[in-house]
Amino acid sequence: MSNLFIRPAIEDDAEELAELLNEIIRIGGTTAYQSVMDKGDIIRDFVRSKWLLSCFVAEMEGKVVGFQHLDAADPEYSGPFKLGAGWSVIASFVRVDHHGQGIGRRLFQETKTAAKQAGSFAIDATIRADNTLGLAFYQNLGFRTYVTIEDVPLSDGTRVDRVRKKYDLTVEE
């Protein structure tokens, strides 16, 4: 995939990132996000998030085809997904018509480097248990399940288990 270009996200990408993510949200079943996002939401939650370590976009022929976001674990969070210092949290999104082309894997090369540079020792990917593609994607990158949280409500009240997978940066080559 020689025409794939990975670069840091900028605020000018927000509209295209919202379009990409909103398509995934509208289809449903593969993300915990259930409400569409606008440009401001994308900037706040991904491009300039409070605990931002990195946000990379993948472009092909000038079009954003995926993005991957990495935050440091929020030390102020006290809910069921609480992580300690040294942990980071990943989210990955690829256009539906570009799945299976290695885009997420290429993004992860950059994200993994950013995590190491930030001093993270582990990356958490928390995935809906019914998201078989997401579970397989992270497993194929080397993430391993370390806990399943049962019966977590989505914003619409639907309850679904969450599988937490860990990528251990301390055993890297």
The torsion angle over the Cα atoms of residues 103, 106, 107 and 111, rounded to 10 degrees, is 160
- Please, which pLDDT band fits residue 141 given cuts at 50, 70 and 90? very high
- Please, which pLDDT band fits residue 57 given cuts at 50, 70 and 90? very high
**Residues 163, 81: Cα–Cα separation, whole Å:** 11
| pLDDT tens profile 59-68 | 999 999 999 9
Helices (H), the chain: 14-27, 39-42, 103-117, 132-141
Class of domain 4-171: alpha beta
Q: Does the pLDDT of residue 173 top 60, yes or no?
A: no
Q: Does the pLDDT of residue 121 top 90, yes or no?
A: yes
**Residues 25, 129: Cα–Cα separation, whole Å:** 16
Domain boundaries, the chain: 4-171
